Structures are given as structure tokens and as C-alpha cells.
Amino acid sequence: MKTLWILGDQLNRRIGALAQSEPETHRILMIESAATMEARTFHRQRLHLVITAMRRFAEELRGSGFDVDYRQAESFRQGLFDHIEEHDPSQLEATEPNSRELRALLTRLGVEQRRSNQFLCHPDDFAEWADDRDSLRMEDFYRWQRKRLGYLMDGDEPLGGKWNYDHENREPPPEDHDWPEPARSQLDDLDHEVLDGLPPGAPGAEPVGWWATSRRAALYRLNHFVEDVLPEFGPYEDAMTEQNWHLAHSLLSPYLNLGLILPGEICDRVEEAFEAGDIPINSAEGMIRQVIGWREFVWGVYWLWPEQSESNELGHERPLPPALTGEAETRMRCVSLAVEGLRERGWVHHIQRLMVLSNFANLHGVEPRQVHDWMRETYIDGADWVMGPNVYGMGLWADGGRMSTKPYVSGGAYINRMSDYCSECRFNPSKRTGEDACPFTTLYWDFLARHRESLEANARMARQFHTLDRLSDIDQVRERAARVNERIAAGEL
């Protein structure tokens, strides 16, 4: 009998080799690797989600008639060798892994890898699309995806006459808004069994049921999102508020990354709801763009540019500050709330990731690898392919603009406009100098002055540098920035 090795982020009967396998021809191998769990300081809820979902999927496959060899081993290699010794399979197969590291490992171990359909654009297809292009931009890729997949299209033209409703989806948070609650599950005996067996010292709060650990529960969350939450997603997808941690976000990325839900399933449901008149086009387009546009663009870049993960265009070398690791509390309210959200749930939404946490790290000058590793370990959806391009390309501009047209940095004014954080913060987002000046604002102008040689030729930065040249207090700003950076490094701000 053949052996099909299923990895922990391929938990779907329809993915790759498993879709063509039957109990009569294939035995299933699944391995919990202690070395993998202990290689990084993963968030407790991340470990719980992956392991519990794996064990539930193993039971689902047994219920379908498969013989499942589920192993807890010191390493993937040891688990495979023990399986071979016990079962002597006629052939070893797997679906292409979702990381470069695991693909290389399976190649070394002699495991045949079958093409994956877990994404809507295979890396080979992405490479072909990118081959004759001078630069890669997500918007170009997104339009290509829309045309070939047919979502929200009227022939060769987009429904509504516009490809992108991003400018309509930048509303600040409304006051006293009644946000729809996300779905939640009760923890059962398996959840507690997994939690009891996690590595000692795994950081983060205990799970309370926000994250689904089965396909059935994940599909329920998809339906709940489309029916009850998605109508408000569009206008407020970039908003931040301390009154609510989830707003109208889908919270579906962990299930996509583990294979519990497939991207086409989400897009099909969104399009069906739009066609039924249940959601506005800006919410439908915004969600489909996140799935087939940004998510699959990041996936393609990860495979196309492996060298991106070694880039550090701005030459940043500072260590991760205590405010991000939780070793020291910070009086910067936006940072404090984001770090608290990570501790409590292993998740904050994309604007907190980009314009609070990544922005803060970039302005402070943190070495990109440290930001990548911290986010990789901390986020519930922090797969390697996710964090590589998002950190090195989008978040920190460490790749020098291969993926983004300009660095995503800002002072406190942006955070003040898109959130309600600043009203209760001790720092003033409009001030550059003085003890109550917002560190984001001070460091933003210092960042521009520090990296002028690298950035001033960028046409999208012209206005910022024009404003920089008009600042009469830039010397005082830079003096304060030096003190602010010292205090951030010491965990005193």
C-alpha cells in the first residue's frame, strides 16, 4: 500500500494528492514534530489551533475509511522513518508543502510531491505571469486573476465599472457602533488534551473559542461572516478602534492557511451574496481582492523571490524593542492595544499589523529578520509564506521596493485619522517635539531625513520630502528622535 503524508496545513479532503487517494490504495501518515513546535516560541493559541485541527482531521479521515498512522515524533524525519519501518509502504507521496523548508526536506527524504491546488494561482503560473514584467504590482495581478477566474466580471469588464473600491473603504471607525459578534466555539476534551500537552512556557493567553479547529466549524464561520458581517466590511476594513478588536473582519485567514477552507469557497459565497443583493459591491470586491489579489500575490512572491527574506535595503540593525515583545509596557496607546491583542488572541487586523506594529518597527530601525521571526511566532495565521513578503516587502520596505511602490510609514496623524486611540493617549499625534510629542510623528520625520538618499528619488515620496524641507525645527526633531529611540530600546516609553 502507498503512504500519503499529509502536513498540518493541508487539512482538506480536496487538496492535492488526497483528492485522488482512496482507503483501498493509500494509508495516511500525519506527524506532530516536537522539533518543529519547539524550534520557535510559538503563541499558545497557534500551537493549539494547528495540533487540534490535525487531530480532528485525522479522525475525519478514519471516519472515511482511511488507515491513519498519526505519530508524535521528535522530528518529521524520525516520524517518517518509524512509519516506514512499521508499514513498509510501496511508495511515499505528499502534496507539495507550503514552505520552501518542507519542500526541501521532502525532496531529501525521497517523498514524491504532487501538485497542490490549495491556492488559485500555482507558483508556476505566477512565475509565468511575472516573467516578462519589469515590475510586479498587486493591482496588475489582481486584475489578471479577476479576468481568468471570473469573479465580479461582466465579460472582460469589472461589474460596476471599477476594478477597485479601495478609496471607498477607508472610513474611520464610527462612534458607538454595534459591531456584529464573530462566531465562537466551546472547548471540548480534545482541546484541553492538546493544551495540556503543549511545550512549557508557550506564550500567550489560553484560547477561549475564537478559532475553529475543524472544517465544519470553519465553514460555519464563513457562512456567519458572509451573512452577518460582510456588509460592513468594506467601508471599515482599514479602521481601528479600542472599542472592538474584530470590527467587520472575516477572521478566516487561519482556516485558509490550514486548508480547512479553500479560497474558491470564500469567493463563491461572497459573489453569491452580492448577486442576491445581500452585500454592497465595495464589500464584495474588497473581500475578493484580499483573497485572490493580495493573499495569492504574496504566495506567488514567496516562491518567486526566495532571496527577499535576506534583504535589508534600509540597513536597519536595532533589536526588537521590549514594547513589542511584551517585556515592557508602553504608553503609546496604539502599540499597547495591538500587543495586547496579540497576547490575548494571536491576531490583530491588517492595518494594525502594517501601520502600527510594522510602521513602529521600521521607524525605530529594527532589523527585518527580528520583525519577521517575532510575527511568524506570534500570529495565529503567521505561516512562513505569509510573513516573508508581508514583512520584507510590504511592512518594512526591506526589499527596496520590489513589491511596494513606497515605504508604508507614517506619523501619528494617520493613526489618529483611522482610529480612536489617540484621544486617550498621553502623546499628541500633531506634535513633533516636546515631551508629549507622538513618537510616531517624531520618528517619521527622522526616518525621512535619515533615508533621504535612498528614498527622495521615489516619485510617490516627493510631497513628503517637500514638506520635510519646509520644517524649521528638523534639527530639534532629530535630536528628540535620538532620545526617543534610546527610551524605546530601554523599554521606557
- Domains of the chain (ranges; CATH) run 2-114 (3.40.50.620), 123-304 (1.25.40.80), 311-489 (1.10.579.10)
Residue with cell 482599514: 238
Instruction: Look at 303 and 199; give whichever has higher pLDDT.
Output: 303
Q: Residues 77-88: what's their mean pLDDT?
A: 98
Q: Is the pLDDT confidence value at 492 over 90?
A: yes
Instruction: Let me know if 114 is exposed, middle or buried by CB neighbors in 10 A (0-12, 13-18, 19+).
Output: middle
Model pLDDT for residues 228-246, shown as the tens digit of each residue: 999 989 899 999 999 999 9
Q: Which three cell numbers stand for residue 326?
A: 511584551
Beta bridge partners of 113: 94
Please tell me the distance from the alpha carbon of residue 303 to that of residue 165, in angstroms, as a whole number.
29
Q: Is the pLDDT confidence value at 4 over 90?
A: yes
Please tell me the distance from the alpha carbon of residue 87 to that of residue 446, in angstroms, as a whole number.
63
Q: Is the pLDDT confidence value at 199 over 90?
A: no
Largest CA distance in the chain: 77
Model pLDDT for residues 118-146, shown as the tens digit of each residue: 999 999 999 999 998 888 999 999 999 99
- Res 288: pLDDT: 98
Model pLDDT for residues 253-268, shown as the tens digit of each residue: 999 999 999 999 999 9
Q: Residues 289-301: what's their mean pLDDT?
A: 98
Residues 6+ apart with CB under 8 A from 90: 1, 2
Cβ-contact 75, 35 below 8 angstroms: yes
Q: Is the pLDDT confidence value at 211 over 90?
A: yes
